[in-house]
Amino acid sequence: MYILDHRCISPQPTFNGCFFTGEVKINHGNLYYSIEPDYTDLIPKNLLRRMEKATRVGIGAGIPLLEKYPIIDGIILGTSTGGFSGCVEFLKQIVQYNEGTLTPTNFVQSTPNAVAGILALMSKNRGYNITHTNLGLSFEATLLDAMLLLEENEAKQLLVGAIEETSEYNYNIDSASDFFKEIAVPSTQLLQSNTKGSVRGEGAAMFVVSSKKDNALCELVDVAQFSFPQKNTIQEKVLQFLKKNNTPLAAIDALVLGYNGDNRFDFRYDELAEQFNDTSIFSYKNLIGDSPTANSFALWLSCSILEGKEIPKEVYYKETDKEIKSILIYNHYNNIQHSFILMRSV
Amino acid sequence: MNIYITGIGVISAIGLNVQENYQSLKNKKTGIAPIHLLNYKEKLLVGEVKLSNEMLVNHLHVATPISRTSLLGIVAAKEAWGNNQHHQDIRTGLISSTSVGGMDNSEKYYQQKLENPTPDISLITTHDSGDTTERIAKELGISGYINTLSTACSSSANAIMLGARMLQQNKLDRVLIGGSDSLTNFTIEGFKSLMIYSDEWVKPFDEHRKGLNLGEGSGFLLLENEKSISLTKNKPLAILCGWSNAADAYHQTASSPDGKGATLAIQQALKKANLKPSDISYINAHGTGTSNNDLSESVALKNVFKENIPPFSSTKAYTGHTLAASGTIEAVYAVLALQHQIILPNLNYSTPISETMLIPEVEWKINQEINTVLSNSFGFGGNNSTIILKKA
Per residue in A28-38, pLDDT tens? Answer: 999 999 999 99
CB–CB contact A120 B247 (8 Å): yes
Shared domain for B171 and B260, answered yes or no, is no
Is the domain A218-345 a CATH 3.40.47.10 member?
yes
- Looking at this protein, which amino acid is placed at residue B386? T
Interface check for B114 against chain A (CB to CB < 8 A): the answer is yes
Closest residue of A to B95, CA-based?
A: A134
**B104 in a domain, yes or no?**
yes
Interface check for B255 against chain A (CB to CB < 8 A): the answer is no
Interface check for A76 against chain B (CB to CB < 8 A): the answer is no
CATH level 3 topology of A2-210? Peroxisomal Thiolase; Chain A, domain 1 (3.40.47)
Q: What is the C-alpha R_g of chain B? A: 19
Shared domain for B64 and B184, answered yes or no, is yes
Alpha-carbon gap: B244 to the closest alpha carbon of chain A (Å): 8
Closest residue of A to B124, CA-based?
A: A173
- Domain boundary (B209, B232, B255) is at B232
**B237 in a domain, yes or no?**
no
Domain that holds residue B215: 3-232
**pLDDT for position A100:** 66
Interface check for B64 against chain A (CB to CB < 8 A): the answer is no
**pLDDT for position A109:** 82
Task: Please give chain B's pLDDT, 392 residues, in tens.
Answer: 899 999 999 999 999 999 999 999 999 999 999 999 999 989 999 999 999 999 999 999 999 999 999 999 999 999 999 999 999 999 999 999 999 999 999 999 888 888 888 889 889 889 999 999 999 999 999 999 999 999 999 999 999 999 999 999 999 999 999 999 999 999 999 999 999 999 999 999 999 999 999 999 999 999 999 999 999 999 999 999 999 998 888 887 888 889 999 999 999 999 999 999 999 999 999 999 999 999 999 999 999 999 999 999 999 999 999 999 999 999 999 999 999 999 999 999 999 999 999 999 999 999 999 999 999 999 876 789 999 999 99
Nearest to B186 among A94, A108, A227 (CB): A94
Spans of all domains in chain A:
2-210, 218-345
Interface check for B144 against chain A (CB to CB < 8 A): the answer is yes
* Chain B residues with CB-CB distance to A151 below 8 A: 169
Under 8 Å CB pairs connecting chains A and B tally to 192
Alpha-carbon gap: B7 to the closest alpha carbon of chain A (Å): 24
Interface check for B294 against chain A (CB to CB < 8 A): the answer is no
Shared domain for B13 and B97, answered yes or no, is yes
Q: What is the β-pairing status of strands A337-345 and A218-227? A: antiparallel
The model carries a pTM of: 0.95
* Chain A residues with CB-CB distance to B114 below 8 A: 95-96
- Which of B177, B252, B260 is the mutation pick for testing A, counting most A CBs within 10 A? B252
* Chain B residues with CB-CB distance to A222 below 8 A: none
Shared domain for B186 and B296, answered yes or no, is no
CB–CB contact B130 A225 (8 Å): no
Residues of chain A with pLDDT under 70: 98-100
**Which of B102, B310, B260 has the alpha carbon at shortest distance from A84?**
B102
Nearest to B149 among A123, A131, A137 (CB): A131
Shared domain for B172 and B275, answered yes or no, is no
For residue range B37-94, list pLDDT tens digits in order.
999 989 999 999 999 999 999 999 999 999 999 999 999 999 999 999 999 999 999 9
Between the two ends of chain B, the Cα-to-Cα distance in Å is: 13
Shared domain for B357 and B248, answered yes or no, is yes
**B268 in a domain, yes or no?**
yes
**B161 in a domain, yes or no?**
yes
Shared domain for B221 and B252, answered yes or no, is no
- Domain boundary (B206, B232, B258) is at B232
Interface check for B341 against chain A (CB to CB < 8 A): the answer is no
CB–CB contact B249 A125 (8 Å): yes
Give the span between the Cα atoms of A228 and A336, in whole angstroms. 5
Residue B137's H or E segment, with its range, is helix B129-140
CB–CB contact A226 B264 (8 Å): no
- Domain boundary (B232, B262, B295) is at B232
**B157 in a domain, yes or no?**
yes
Shared domain for B272 and B213, answered yes or no, is no
Shared domain for B33 and B98, answered yes or no, is yes
CB–CB contact B151 A131 (8 Å): yes
CA distances to B37, B152, B201, B223, B378 from B34, rounded to whole Å, are 10, 24, 10, 36, 26
**pLDDT for position A99:** 61
Interface check for B119 against chain A (CB to CB < 8 A): the answer is no
Alpha-carbon gap: A308 to the closest alpha carbon of chain B (Å): 33
Q: Are A158 and A47 in contact (CB under 8 A)?
A: no
ipTM (interface predicted TM): 0.93
**In CATH, what number is assigned to the domain containing residue B87?**
3.40.47.10
Residue B97 Rama label (left phi>0; alpha psi -120 to 50; beta) = beta
Closest residue of B to A177, CA-based?
A: B125
Q: How many domains does chain B have?
A: 2
**Which of B40, B315, B330, B317 has the alpha carbon at shortest distance from B201?**
B317
